[in-house]
Amino acid sequence: MKCPVCKKDEFSSEEMGDGLAALRCDECQGHWLPSFVYWKWLSRRGHNAPEILGGADNPQPKSPPKGGRLCPDCGRILIKYRVKKGVPFTVDRCGNCAGLWLDQGEWAYLKKRNLHDDLDYIFTAVWQTRIRKEDSADAAAESLAKALGPADFKVAKKIRVWLDQHPLRSRILAYLTGSALCLALLVPSR
């Protein structure tokens, strides 16, 4: 068993809290968590705590070295998964045995935000797609802000909030876009 980061083979058992045992690399202080251990812990835990929004008091994990990593158990490639928008690291998971690698400080960060009991969801396509959609929306907003300038972008944001809450939103959008087909919907039938 070799550490995916520093390639050392010196691991110690460590209690992660709430009865969850993991293997800690003595060199880089990262943690290996076999999937069956996590699932067993999750089933004993019995509840999913709501997420706590991040703040400045959260512990910040160290930036891990770049490059591919191999699973300590089966030697397959570890896949990086984004945790959430604004979370400064990824969690590595083996595509073969589903074990988890957490770099130093990552478990503490996840636990502080109550995301430690969501790891099973983080690896789903639905979770990862939501993160990509949020990134895409942010990029579109940033692009529009550059094109409009700060003052006009502020007005556009206010209009969007108003429009999103308006009961006749679709009619207003039809009017604003000037679509002939949509405008036909606005004219009362005779």
- pLDDT band at 60; cut points 50, 70, 90: low
Q: What is the pLDDT of residues 139-153, one digit of tens each?
A: 999 999 999 999 999
Q: Where are the beta strands (DSSP E) in 77-160?
A: 78-82, 90-94, 100-102
- Cα(145)–Cα(150) distance, rounded to whole angstroms? 6
Angle between helices 125-148 and 150-165 (to 10 degrees): 130
pLDDT of 57 reads 55
Backbone region of residue 98 per phi and psi (left: phi > 0; alpha: psi in -120 to 50; beta: other values): left
- pLDDT band at 70; cut points 50, 70, 90: very high
pLDDT of 72 reads 94
Q: Is the pLDDT of residue 56 over 50?
A: no
Q: What is the pLDDT of residues 97-139, one digit of tens each?
A: 999 999 999 999 999 998 998 888 999 999 999 999 999 999 9
Residue, of 63 and 100, whose pLDDT is higher: 100
- pLDDT band at 81; cut points 50, 70, 90: very high
Q: Could you count the other beta carbons within 10 Å of the beta carbon of residue 108?
A: 17
